[in-house]
Structure 1
Amino acid sequence: METTLRYQRFSLAVITTPAIVLAQQTSVNEPITPTVEVRGSTSSYDPRRDDTVAKIVLKHDEIVKHGDTNLLDVLKRIPGITVSGSAGRGSEIQMQGLGSGYTQVLINGERPPRGFAIDTLAPDLIERIEVMRTANVEYSTQAIAGTINVVLKKAARTAEREFKIGYEIGRDTHSPSANLQLSDRMDRFSYSVGGNLVRNGFEGDVPGVEHERDLNGRTTLLRTTSAHENGLLTTYNLAPRLNWSLEGGDTVALESVVNINRFRVQVHAPTSTEIGGLPAYPQKETRMTNDNASFRSGLSWTHNLESGTKLEMKLGASGSSTGNTVYRDASGNPVFGLLTRKIDSQARDRGVSSTGKASIPLREGHALTFGWNGGIDTRDDARTERDYLQPLLDIPGGDERSSGRVTHLALYGQDEWEITPRWSVYLGARWEGIRIRVSGDAFGTAHSRSGVFSPVLQTLYKLADTKQDQLRLAISRTYKAPSMQSLLPDPYTTINNSQVEPDVQGNPRLKPELSLGLDAAYEHYWGEGALLSASVSTRRIDDYTRHLVSFDGRRWISQPVNIGQARTHSLQLEAKFPLTAIFSDAPALDLHADIARNWSSVDAVPGPDNRLGQQTPLSANLGADYIRGALTTGANFLFKSGGRVRLSANQTAYLNVQRDLELYALWKLTPTRQLRLAAMNVLGQDFVNEGSYTGTYGVLRNRTTNVNHASLRATLETKF
């Protein structure tokens, strides 16, 4: 079997880019984001205001302000970003209300290894977070909604040693954590090492309701499930970096990041039938263990020529190993008897990569950059399914093995030019090519070859007769590549298979989604730290992918399918300012707020409500920070609207409203010691998942609720 797929599985890129102003560099071999402005000092430089490439940059002090223990909780407060789920437990990160792979998340400019739980990354290891709504050709253009680049800490100018220990407690959670940061500089050598440990125990109810009505509105089926879960998620993070400054000005750096997760959960889910027939298995007990370890390491070299040209090269290696075991015990229906299944799956990924770049200054305010990145990634999967009470019993489809090999190459060039003191332009182009070979016991062998060309234009214009107002415009070609898992037709089976609880499997004929996007923004800077902005964006997506449910004659199956063209539009407003920008004698109170409205439509799905799946229609964020002496306090409120989403002629999902209130306080006890307190989910917001399927018999609805409660966290931080 051979298919033609035009996409790239992995794309690796070096973050480091040319420096128009060397004063931006803060450590040996530290990556610098491209700019086209000439600045005399870093104190007046604001990347959001001054860079031609539009971005939001969140610095380390802002990242750790709330004392979060994972990256997911940090991202949800950044304007334009929404999140769903919990860290390490099927979370999703969205920009412009779009998730499911439309938002690209990178570590140091590179895609993390497969299996890397980036949402569990410790905030203390992060130096800054860069949020870009429009593509940048130095990174992969697999970024229809935008890119979030997480830059890990670099070596410091002076010795730094910091230790943090914390504990979070609530009705449904108990979570100790510890973090250690070490860095120092010795002549031409510097280093930094960050380590983090979080152990999150959780327990709670997950009630569910299954309700069916016939075409006359009469209830024909009503089932309730009283599920209860308890589990433990343990996360380890380690991020060492070594820097050497060589004779002649060359620099060499070795940086790595390791992420290890151990997940254990047990779910007891008895189902009661009030109206209608029994499900296949009314009594269900599930026990799951998931162990994942992944790493990425890279050795980079930087050389500066006398002409001002800067050369950079990097060799990288990555790998991950995942083991998953699920025990299923189910009974309660004499027609189906007893189910005792043990499902083991193992996956191993390995990869090598090479990146390089030449940055050529032409004249003041004008620079060219050319580069490449490429590599080879391999993956091996094995899955076995057995009756653990009768291990010799043969289960059809119980043993499956697959392997894949991905060879990828990307070439890019960009021109950044300050045409006038008020007008600057960024023009880039990137070609990404990929060759894939996948083989498996269940589907034979599939070959694919792809190539995507992505031009990008961004421009910044500062309005005449003012230093406060400026306009941005960007046009870009981006895409979303299918994941390796979405291509493999290996099914993940459910216990009580139905239209609203189908098996899930991939599609070897899946094509990439291609997008043409337009972004525009108006920004008004009216004081120190004061900003008002309005931005709009629109995307046309070809070969849009959606998971459709169908019956294969034996079981209900959900499978990704390209269904045609989709369109999405966004409007975002943002304001942030210190109160002193309005009243000179006001208290030290900083305010920030943003609101985003998203619209979309899918041509192949009949309306109304034929929106992109899981897109957030409206999100808002309101916060305040107050400083008085040694005490800093603050609050943040998040809101996400819901609504009905029609996924196909038969399928409908319901997004529920979410409200999240957080409070924090930081008390500086001594110059080297401080206490941080935080209250999370103060409103006790539950997480609800709801969907329906309409057939010739009527409408079947399914609703599950993760009951959540407020929690408190205390963290003691010490520098030594």
Structure 2
Amino acid sequence: MKRISSWKLSTLSLTIVAVSMSVTADDNISDTQVQNTATDPAKTEAAQLKTLKFTAQATTPKDPDISAIAKTVVTREEMLQYGDQSVNDALRRAAGFQMPSPGQGPRGNSGASGMRFRGGGAPVFLINGEAVQGGPRGGMSIVDTLTPEMIERIEITKQPSVAHASVASSAVINIILKEPLDDAGLNGTVKVGYGFAESDQKEEERKNLSVQADGRTGPWLYSISANQMWNDSVSVSETLSQGQSQQQKRVSERDSFMLSPRLEYELDDQQKLVAELFYRNSKNDSTQNTQLQHDTNDSIRLNTRYERKDKAGSDKIRFSAENQNETEKTRSVNYSSIIDESIDEYGLAYDGVRKLNDRLQFKFGADSRTSELDSNVADTLDEQRYALYAEGSWKFSDRQTVTLGARQEWLNRSGLVDYSDQQLNPVLAHRFDLTDQWSIQTNISQAFKNPKTDNLLPTVSVSTSSDAGSLNNPDRGGNPYLKPEKITAVESTLGFNTASGGVNFTAFHREIDDYIEKVIQQEGSRFVERPQNQNNATTYGVELSGRYALKQTEKGHSFMLNGQLSTVRAKIEEDNHTERLVSDVAPYTASTGLSYNYQPWKLSTAINLNYVPAFSRKLDNQSYIRSSNERFNIDISATRRFADGWATTLSARNILSTDYKERLNSTVDGSLFEARTNQAIPSVLLSVEKKF
């Protein structure tokens, strides 16, 4: 790898002081308010002093959806003002998400697909209402390649809704892509970024190039987005086993590319046809000691839909097709393997909405999906999913709304696993606006969560480094005998929200039968981590989130503060009726962000702090306790806009971040069995963009 120029911590500290404030975001959006802001920075830049005034956003109409199920919206304007570089950056301000820590685990996923929601699995990601997936073996998702310039807004539904693909997930993130403005010709953004880091033995070099362009000609709307990223790094991990310490370097070269053209034809004022294509290719080559790793993922996805919308409701017909191929090659002195897997998936769905009046609304639809997963080391797995859903919302008083819905699902699997099941997932939600500011929202649901297809494949993916295959760094595989989880959940949110911000307090409780947990067991001479059903689990906790904004003053100053504290306690009941805490769920997470914007200088700055406490958990069927250290990291950014559409952004990630440490101690005498340390890599990224 090319040697990166020296970068000292003292210089980094000065950078923190220089940009230790943060960007002002949309002060009209709270955790229980729905906004539909579509301000385009490309159109407003010339008159930025006027159009970014918060008074101009007060007239933005609310989403006409009267559902009692809460929704949070993060607009593109907010993402750009905060200096967000990815979807992860935007979601970290939404309470309830446990973001992956940099360097967590020997092969941890730090992308969007690696996040957790309230101690459970990853949330469901949609793009324009269509579900997207990562690789069969955890390859980078389409979501990880999207930049804020490509996105119009992000809609977050934290509570179960039968209209979405998975009621049991309890969190759905719908990413709405950017559309051209009504009276705009061809316009867009080109952004080039370069980042580096160097500290002791750690190095990282990042380069990215993204292009987003869109336009409109008569009834035709068109756009294209492209993103190319290169990431070369040298990371260091240290292991301690049987009293002997070893330190090893891991050299990685990552290369990912995404191309997304989109075409839309307006039949009339109420109807349109849309086709969008996603092509994605990612490669990762890494070496550690004598082990070589080569991973590739190549996929192409086509989403098409017909949309009709008027005041009385809407109809949407969706068709999708995707082909995805993923290869994992591992080679060392004593071991060599090639895993080659592919997925072909087709989907056809219908969604309808009917509004009988301002107080009564119905949603209904159907969904059909079929997929085939081929592997060179396992039998083919075929899957067919079918679903019907209906949901009604009734605003029976000026301040109260009730929503009742149900989703019936059918699942058939054949090949590797012969399995058929059907489930009914009901949801009841109630919203009570106590005053214009105070509200309370409650949601009760029962749902079945079927295991993902890739979790059923028994294929073992070999871990890396000197302690590969050990209890502290096991290999990973699937389990074809997994049963679906049955989840009964209740959740309630008390909110106080105004135009300047608000505070929301949420309490939740979930009973889960046949809870799926990743369990480590010895297979031959190595340890392997596989998902397994546990008898029963209970998760519960509270969330406190808030934001406050000082509206822009006459001199151009604006300010915002946001923060959250999310607790979760996840317990498993063993077969002998004893209880233990889930091994990999932190007891709580906390984050806060400070923002400041000075319009005369067109300067926006941001600082965000994330914290995870130290915690210890007993491993299932093992006489050891795993302990992880407390971790925090600071992200900062500063954006300066210039004339003629030019702008530059300085982003510093994982500043003063804590190394990730794990220890295994005996439950008998407390003695140390194994320990691992993965050093974190702070980095700086400088981006230059030009709007046209």
TM-score by length of 1: 0.80
Looking at structure 1, the residues matched to 456 and 649 of structure 2 have their Cα atoms a distance apart, in angstroms, of 46
CA contact 1:606–1:648 (8 Å) conserved in 2: no
Matched letter for residue 83 of structure 1: M
How big is the shift at 1:48?
12
Indicate the residue corresponding to 2:542 in structure 1: 571
Structure 1 segment 154-173 matched on structure 2, within 5 A:
154-157=179-182, 158-159=184-185, 160-171=187-198, 172-173=203-204
1:226 aligns with 2:247: yes
Indicate the residue corresponding to 1:316 in structure 2: 320
Indicate the residue corresponding to 2:109 in structure 1: 90
Matched letter for residue 481 of structure 2: R
Q: Give SS of 1:322's match.
A: strand
Moved more, 288-297 or 642-651: 642-651
Q: Give SS of 1:79's match.
A: coil
1:461 aligns with 2:432: yes
For 2:454, which of 459, 482, 485 is the aligned residue? Answer: 485
TM-score by length of 2: 0.83
Looking at structure 2, the residues matched to 667 and 24 of structure 1 have their Cα atoms a distance apart, in angstroms, of 26
For 2:605, which of 633, 637, 641 is the aligned residue? Answer: 633
Indicate the residue corresponding to 2:144 in structure 1: 120
| C-alpha spacing 1:361/1:78, structure 2 compared with 1 (3 Å) | closer
Structure 1 segment 269-348 matched on structure 2, within 5 A:
285-303=290-308, 308-329=312-333, 339=334, 341-348=335-342
CA contact 1:605–1:648 (8 Å) conserved in 2: no
Structure 1 segment 432-471 matched on structure 2, within 5 A:
432-439=409-416, 446-463=417-434, 466-471=435-440
Q: Give SS of 1:74's match.
A: helix
How big is the shift at 1:355?
0.5
Matched letter for residue 297 of structure 1: L
Looking at structure 1, the residues matched to 284 and 278 of structure 2 have their Cα atoms a distance apart, in angstroms, of 20
Matched letter for residue 144 of structure 2: T
How big is the shift at 1:244?
0.6
For 1:412, which of 386, 389, 394 is the aligned residue? Answer: 389
How big is the shift at 1:512?
1.1
| C-alpha spacing 1:66/1:532, structure 2 compared with 1 (3 Å) | closer
Indicate the residue corresponding to 2:643 in structure 1: 670
How big is the shift at 1:523?
1.0
Looking at structure 1, the residues matched to 520 and 535 of structure 2 have their Cα atoms a distance apart, in angstroms, of 17
1:624 aligns with 2:594: yes
Higher strand proportion (structure 1 or 2): 1
1:103 aligns with 2:105: no
CA contact 1:309–1:358 (8 Å) conserved in 2: yes
Indicate the residue corresponding to 2:31 in structure 1: none
1:362 aligns with 2:362: no
How big is the shift at 1:594?
1.3
Matched letter for residue 477 of structure 2: Q
1:601 aligns with 2:601: no
Looking at structure 1, the residues matched to 82 and 225 of structure 2 have their Cα atoms a distance apart, in angstroms, of 19
CA contact 2:81–2:604 (8 Å) conserved in 1: no
Q: Give SS of 1:193's match.
A: strand
CA contact 1:114–1:349 (8 Å) conserved in 2: no
Bigger relative contact order, structure 1 or 2 (CA pairs below 8 A, ≥6 apart): 2
Indicate the residue corresponding to 1:657 in structure 2: 630
Query: Could you give the per-residue CA deviations for residues 65-115 of structure 1, whole angstroms, max 9, x where no partner exists?
Result: 45454433433333221211459952354454424x353233333332441
| C-alpha spacing 1:644/1:668, structure 2 compared with 1 (3 Å) | same
How big is the shift at 1:192?
1.5
Q: Give SS of 2:160's match.
A: coil
Q: Give SS of 1:508's match.
A: coil
Q: Identity percentage over the alignment?
A: 20
How many aligned residue pairs are there? 619
Indicate the residue corresponding to 1:54 in structure 2: 70
Indicate the residue corresponding to 2:370 in structure 1: 376
1:264 aligns with 2:269: no
How big is the shift at 1:456?
1.0
Looking at structure 1, the residues matched to 471 and 589 of structure 2 have their Cα atoms a distance apart, in angstroms, of 30
Structure 1 segment 384-403 matched on structure 2, within 5 A:
400-403=377-380
- For the aligned residues, what is the CA RMSD? 3.0
Looking at structure 1, the residues matched to 325 and 374 of structure 2 have their Cα atoms a distance apart, in angstroms, of 10
How big is the shift at 1:558?
3.4
Matched letter for residue 717 of structure 1: E
1:588 aligns with 2:558: yes
How big is the shift at 1:478?
3.0
Indicate the residue corresponding to 2:51 in structure 1: none
CA contact 2:441–2:492 (8 Å) conserved in 1: yes
Larger radius of gyration: 1
Q: Give SS of 1:575's match.
A: strand
How big is the shift at 1:692?
5.0
For 1:179, which of 179, 190, 210 is the aligned residue? Answer: 210
How big is the shift at 1:539?
0.6
Looking at structure 1, the residues matched to 269 and 608 of structure 2 have their Cα atoms a distance apart, in angstroms, of 49
Looking at structure 2, the residues matched to 553 and 293 of structure 1 have their Cα atoms a distance apart, in angstroms, of 33
CA contact 1:229–1:265 (8 Å) conserved in 2: yes
Looking at structure 2, the residues matched to 681 and 134 of structure 1 have their Cα atoms a distance apart, in angstroms, of 30
1:681 aligns with 2:654: yes
Looking at structure 1, the residues matched to 619 and 294 of structure 2 have their Cα atoms a distance apart, in angstroms, of 32
Looking at structure 2, the residues matched to 51 and 510 of structure 1 have their Cα atoms a distance apart, in angstroms, of 34
Matched letter for residue 117 of structure 1: M
Looking at structure 2, the residues matched to 607 and 644 of structure 1 have their Cα atoms a distance apart, in angstroms, of 21
Q: Give SS of 2:88's match.
A: helix
How big is the shift at 1:346?
1.1
| C-alpha spacing 1:554/1:716, structure 2 compared with 1 (3 Å) | closer
CA contact 1:534–1:574 (8 Å) conserved in 2: yes
How big is the shift at 1:154?
2.9
Indicate the residue corresponding to 2:223 in structure 1: 192
Looking at structure 2, the residues matched to 120 and 144 of structure 1 have their Cα atoms a distance apart, in angstroms, of 20
Structure 1 segment 496-507 matched on structure 2, within 5 A:
497-507=469-479
| C-alpha spacing 1:662/1:644, structure 2 compared with 1 (3 Å) | same
Structure 1 runs (4+) greater than 6 angstroms displaced: 23-27, 583-586, 605-609
1:80 aligns with 2:96: yes
1:550 aligns with 2:550: no
* Stretches of structure 2 lacking an aligned partner (at least 5 in a row): 1-34, 40-56
Q: Give SS of 1:63's match.
A: helix
1:612 aligns with 2:582: yes
CA contact 2:476–2:530 (8 Å) conserved in 1: yes
Q: Give SS of 1:354's match.
A: strand
How big is the shift at 1:500?
3.7
| C-alpha spacing 1:643/1:145, structure 2 compared with 1 (3 Å) | farther
Q: Give SS of 2:655's match.
A: coil
Looking at structure 2, the residues matched to 717 and 127 of structure 1 have their Cα atoms a distance apart, in angstroms, of 18
Matched letter for residue 513 of structure 1: E
CA contact 2:543–2:564 (8 Å) conserved in 1: yes
Query: Could you give the per-residue CA deviations for residues 28-83 of structure 1, whole angstroms, max 9, x where no partner exists?
Result: xxxxxxxxxxxxx9834456997622122111122244545443343333322121
Looking at structure 2, the residues matched to 258 and 90 of structure 1 have their Cα atoms a distance apart, in angstroms, of 21
